[in-house]
Structure 1
């Protein structure tokens, strides 16, 4: 029996998607500029699947391909270092596995308290509202400076 014989149909799910900023302030007072993040290149697409609500979601949990690797990893990053917030269906099997591990693996995942179908339009609409709040907050945070 091969992996193809036991393949399970993978349904796409809705997720908030963002990109890593091209440049960000770094060092004392933000005097230096760095490109991207340590683990993600500038412009990298990441799926935002969770966050730390006790900290006002200043830090979020993302799934994305790290620099110099084709593997998807789960990483905690400051939300202010993400831009271009939107909601999209996730089709990548590797990304879907990581997202499912976070959402249903005992760690929860925000916006999922009472959601039965993460592929439903109602879930998409809820994520759109959250993505818009993140977009507004991160733009204001970057405008205020480092």
Structure 2
């Protein structure tokens, strides 16, 4: 007796439903359990004691967002290097080539290096001449 192909995805579907249900349950529960009273103490200024003036939605330089995106990008690239480091010795047994794993990571780091070179040439990380735009 063969099991239909769709049944293999039932555990994944159940995990997704439990995750969404748990998140929704916490959000709804906090709404009903939490207090929603704006008192004078809650609305008072805090930390430095300076009264808030103007809008809190100030403008940021585009460079701020570029650096944030670059941090995420290179952080993800480092995460991709971790599995390679874990199975580095096993690559010799799988491929039979002594330098396959090393050559593989050199190509990967070459792409990362080209990306860093482009970022430096573009001047994204140079904050000394920040004009607010690229």
TM-based fold match above 0.5 = no
Larger strand percent: 1
Larger helix percent: 2
The higher radius of gyration belongs to: 2
**Shorter-chain TM band:** under 0.3
